[in-house]
Amino acid sequence: MHKEIAFLVIFSSVVQYGEQRKQISIGIFLDDDDQYELSTIAVSSIVRRINLFTRTDYLLRPHIFRVSNGDLLETGQLMCQLIERGIAAIFGPESPEINEMIQSVSSGVEIPQFQTFWNPKLASTNRSIQGIFNLHPTPKGLSQALSTLVRENDWNSYTVLYENEDAVLRLQEALKRRSPADPAVQFRNLGSKDNHRTVLKEVKSSGVLHLILDCETAHIMDILREARELKLLSEFHSYILTNLDAHTLDWSEFKDVRTNITAFRLLDTENKNMKHAVLVWNQMLKYDWFGPVHNIALQKELELFRKKKPFSEIRPHDLHTKTALLYDALNLFISVYSELDTKEKLTLKPLSCESYETSSHGRKFANRMKERNQELPLLLEPLTGDMWKFDQNGYRSNYKLQIIELYATEFRMTATWRSKYPNSITLALTEKDRDTELKEKIQQRTFRVVSRLGDPYLMQAVPPNGKSLYGNDRYEGYSMDIMKEICKPENLNCSYTFELVPDGMYGNYDPKTKQWNGLIKELLEYKADLGVCDLTITYERRKAVDFTMPFMTLGISILYAKAVKEPPELLSFSHPLSFEVWIYIATSYLIISITMFLVARMNPNDWENPHPCDPYPQELENIWTIRNCCWLTLGSFMAQGCDLLPKGISTRMVAAMWWFFTLIMGACYTANMTAFLTMSRMGPTIESADDLAAQTKIKYGCLEGGATSSFFKDNNFSTYHRMWVQMESAEPSAFEKNNKDGVKRVLTSKRKYAFLMESSSIEYEMERNCELMQVGNNLDSKGYGIAMPNNSPYRKSINEAILKMQEMGILHRLKDKWWKEMNGGGKCTKDKHSTDAEAAEMGLDNVGGVFVVLAAGVILAFLIAMCEFLWNVRKVAVVKHLTPKEALIKELKFAMNIWARKKEVTTSGLRDISLETLEPKM
C-alpha cells in the first residue's frame, strides 16, 4: 500500500487575500485507492468555490491525508496533531479500522465527523455518540430497495452471493422470508478469489437463475467473468448488484452478454449539477486552477492524473459514490457551519488527545443538524440530492436511488426508488417500451432449436438429385413449419437453426444421477434456446424448464391392430350351429322318422279305407311307410310342409313336437347366422384400458423414457398402476425405443401386442396403416409445447405467435398438411368408406356354400335318377325279351324324345317298371 501521507494547504494566494476572513480547518482522510485523485480534485474544487465565489466570511483550510488500512498508528498521531490545531470537522475515511479510531476520537472531543461510505455498525453504536453523520444510503434503506426490486421482478427464488459477513448483516433483514409466498432465498459466501469458481459451480448445479451479487466494486468484473465461463451469464439469468458503483466499471467486455444486470446508483450521472461539477473539475485540470500547491507530493499526484487522463476526460460515470458524497458532505458542513456561526459565533479551540476537553462547537453543530429542515439551502448544488434530514444514528434519511440496467456497454436508468416510499418503485421504462425493445432484440436473434427425429414432427428431407443438404434444409416436418411460422415477419421476425438432440430422447429425469436427459438437458445446459418436437408438457418438466402454451392437444390412447378378415369358408352357412348340433339334428331326424313310422302303425286312426266309396272295406291301408315318414319330417324341417298329414293323436303329437323342435332350431340358426355375418365388423376383443389390464393374452407397452411411461409410472390409479407393473415385468420388454418400433411391433404381432401411444401420433399412423386402429378413449388430456430455459424473455412473444397461429387456423392447416396430405396420408380414409360399403352386402364368398349344396343335391338327384332308369331298363329287357342294350337304347330314345307325352305299358299293373303319364281325361 502507498504509505505516503499528503498534508495539504491549498490556495496560499487565497489565504493571503483572506487573512481577514475566519479560517476553518477541516481534516479529510482519503483512502489510498483509485478514487484518491478524483477526491482530491473534488475537495479542491469545492474549497475553491467556497473560498473564491461564495459570499461567506470563511476560508476553508482542508488538511488532506491519504491513508491506508495499516496506517492506524500514524493516522492516530495525525488526528491528534489536527485536534491540537483546532479543527471544525473530520471527513472519511472508509477503511474500517481507521474509521473506528477516528470515529471514537472525534466523538470523544465532540468534533463532527462526516462519513461517506456504508457503515452498518453505526446503527448498533451507542446512541450517545453525537456528531457522526453518514451520508451513504442506510443499510436498512438499501435492503428495502433490494427487496422491493426483487418483488417487482417477480423472482420466485434467488441466491445472494456475498463476499463478507457484513452483507448478511446488511441484507438479511429485508431478504428473509416472512411468508411462504415470499421468494425462497439462499445465501452463499463467495469466499476468497480461489473459491469463487467452486461456489459458482454450486450455484449452477442448483439451477438458480436469479442472483444478488454483493461484493466490492473491484471484484465485480472478476466474478462475472467466472460466471460467464460457467454459463451463468445467459439471457435467462438475472443479477442485481448491490454495489452502488457498478456504473463506474468498464462493461465493454460484456457487451454481447444478454443477462439482465441491474444495479442501484445514488448518483444521477445525467443530473445537471453533476455535469456542471464535472465540467468544473475538467477545467481545473485543464487550466491548472489549483494555484501553487505547497505540497509537492500532491502536486505530483495531480500531475500524474493529468497525464493518465487527458483533459475533459473525467466523466460523471467515473465518480464513485463516496467521492460525490465527500463533495456533498463538505458542502453540507460549510453550509450548516456558516449559518450556525452567523447566529452563535463559533470558535475552534485547540484540543488535546490526552485531555477530556471537548470542542465548543461540536454539540451546537449536532443539534443544528437535527433541527435542519428542507427550507435551509446549501451553498452549492448537491450531487446526490437533498440532504436535510439525518436520523438518531446519524444516517441520512432522505435519498433516492436510481435502478439502472446494463444496456449494451452502459447502464441506463429504468426506475427510481425513494427512501420515503420504500415499498414501491417508479418505473422509467413502460411495459410498451420493454416490449418494443424485446422485439428488436428478437429480430437480431437466431434461435438454436433442438429437436429429435420422429414422424411427422421432424424427418430427414430427401435431397433432390442426390445433392447434399445443409443447415435447416436437412430436415422437414411439422416442427420445422411451426418455427417457420413463428419466425415470419408478421410474428417474431427471427431466424433459427435446427439441431438434433445427441441422445435422441425427449427428456427424462433420473433421480439417481439427479440428471435430465434429452431435450430438457440441452435446454438446462443452455446449449439450445428452444426445444421443439412432440414434447409433452408435464409437471416435472415444467419445474425444470419453461413451456409455451400448447400448440397441440392430445391424450394417451391404445394403438392396436384391426381384426384381419378371414375369407369365409365354403360351408360357412353351417357355422351358426356346431358340428355336434348338426349330428344331433340328423340323429333326431332319423329317430323321429322311425318313431313316426312305428307310432303310425300302432295308431288305428292312421289305418285308412283305401276305397272311400266302399263303406265296408276288406282291408285297411296305412300311408305311413318309412319313406313317407322321412318325407314328412324333412318337409317340416325345411319349413316346407308335406301333403301327407297324420290323423291319430299320437302321430300328430310326434309331428307337433318335431315342428316345435324345428321352429326353435330354425330361429336359433337364423339368429346365429346374423351374428356370424356381422362378426367381422365387431372389432377387437379389447375396448378400453381396463379390458387391456384385465387380461394377459395381449401384451402391451409404450415408449421408453417418455411422458407416456411417466404417466403410468407415477399414476396411483389402480388400473394404470397395474398396467405399469405388467409392462415392467413383461418378457421380452414391453417398451420400445421410439414410436416407429412400437407401430411395427403392433403390426407384426398378430394382435398379441398393443402400444400405448399419444393420440396425435396414433392418428398419424392410422392415416397410413389401415390395419391399425385406436382402441377406446384417451386416458388423459395434455399438450405439446415449445420448451425453453426458465426465465426466458421470449416466452411471451412466442406464446402470442402461437395464439395468433391458432386463431388464424394455421396450426390446423399444418396438422392437415403433415397428417393427411404428406407422406402417404389420407390413405385409410378412402379404405374406410369402401369397407363400410362392403360390409353392407354379402358377397358370394359368404353364400357360396349354399350354392354348392344346391348343386351337389341336384347332381345326387340326377345320379339317383340314372340308377332308377338303369334298374327299369333291366326290368324292361326281361319283360320284353330284349337285350339290355336294346332295352337301354329304346328307353333312352323315348326319354330323349321330349315331345312324347305318352308311353306304352310294358307290364300291366307294374307301375314301378315304367311310370305312365296319362293324359288327363277330358
Q: How far is the CB of 535 from ligand GLU (least distance, A)?
A: 5
Q: How far is the CB of 717 from ligand GLU (least distance, A)?
A: 18
Cell reading at 238: 438475472
Question: Looking at 655, 757, 787, 811, which residue binds ligand GLU (CB under 6 A)?
Answer: 757
Q: x/- site string to ligand GLU, residues 514 to 543, per CB under 6 A? A: --------------------xxx-------
Does 485 engage in binding with ligand GLU (CB under 6 A)?
no
Q: How far is the CB of 708 from ligand GLU (least distance, A)?
A: 3
Using the contact rule CB under 6 A, the part of the chain among 131-139, 316-324, 425-433, 703-711 near ligand GLU is: 703-711
Q: How far is the CB of 706 from ligand GLU (least distance, A)?
A: 2
CA distance 197 to 195: 6
Q: Does residue 448 contact residue 258 with C-beta atoms inside 8 Å? A: no
Angle at 86 between CA 83 and CA 91, to 5 degrees: 65
Does 323 engage in binding with ligand GLU (CB under 6 A)?
no
CA distance 416 to 289: 37
Which residue's beta carbon is nearest to the bound ligand GLU? 706
Angle between helices 139-152 and 165-175 (to 10 degrees): 60
Question: Looking at 703, 754, 786, 787, which residue binds ligand GLU (CB under 6 A)?
Answer: 703
CA distance 161 to 226: 13
Q: How far is the CB of 457 from ligand GLU (least distance, A)?
A: 9
Q: If DSSP states are collapsed to H, E and C, what string results for 521-586? A: HHHHCCCCCEECCCCECCHHHHHHEEECCCCEEECEEEEEECCCCCCCCCCHHHCCCCHHHHHHHH
Q: x/- site string to ligand GLU, residues 30 to 59, per CB under 6 A? A: ------------------------------
Nearer to ligand GLU, 336 or 757 (CB): 757
End-to-end CA distance of the chain: 157
Nearer to ligand GLU, 327 or 506 (CB): 506
* Eight-state DSSP code of residue 616: S
Q: Which residues are annotated as a binding site?
A: 536, 541, 708, 758
Residue closest to 335 by CA, chosen among 373, 386, 367, 380: 380
Does 707 engage in binding with ligand GLU (CB under 6 A)?
yes
Question: Looking at 163, 758, 767, 891, which residue binds ligand GLU (CB under 6 A)?
Answer: 758
Q: How far is the CB of 458 from ligand GLU (least distance, A)?
A: 13
Residue closest to 757 by CA, chosen among 687, 669, 689: 689
Q: Which residues are annotated as a binding site for L-glutamate?
A: 536, 541, 708, 758
Number of residues that bind ligand GLU (CB under 6 A): 11
Does 706 engage in binding with ligand GLU (CB under 6 A)?
yes
Site for ligand GLU in 205-264 (CB under 6 A): none
Does 506 engage in binding with ligand GLU (CB under 6 A)?
yes
Say which residues have a Cβ less than 8 Å from residue 916's Cβ, sequence separation at least 6.
902, 903, 905
Q: How far is the CB of 476 from ligand GLU (least distance, A)?
A: 19
Does 29 engage in binding with ligand GLU (CB under 6 A)?
no
Residue with cell 421470449: 794
Say which residues have a Cβ less than 8 Å from residue 708's Cβ, sequence separation at least 6.
556, 702, 756, 757, 758
* Eight-state DSSP code of residue 454: B
Q: How far is the CB of 520 from ligand GLU (least distance, A)?
A: 10
3-state secondary structure of 57: coil
Question: Looking at 40, 44, 238, 708, which residue binds ligand GLU (CB under 6 A)?
Answer: 708
Nearer to ligand GLU, 135 or 458 (CB): 458
Q: What are the Cα distances from residue 561, in Å, to 680, 695, 766, 847?
A: 14, 17, 10, 28
Nearer to ligand GLU, 509 or 676 (CB): 509
Q: How far is the CB of 703 from ligand GLU (least distance, A)?
A: 4
Q: How far is the CB of 732 from ligand GLU (least distance, A)?
A: 19
How many CB atoms are located within 10 Å of the residue 420 CB? 9
Using the contact rule CB under 6 A, the part of the chain among 154-162, 441-449, 706-714, 790-798 near ligand GLU is: 706-714
CA distance 705 to 710: 7
| DSSP states of 892-906 | HHHHH-TT------S
Does 765 engage in binding with ligand GLU (CB under 6 A)?
no
CA distance 455 to 798: 24
Nearer to ligand GLU, 339 or 780 (CB): 780
Q: Give me the residues that bind ligand GLU (CB under 6 A), please.
A: 506, 534-536, 702-703, 706-708, 757-758
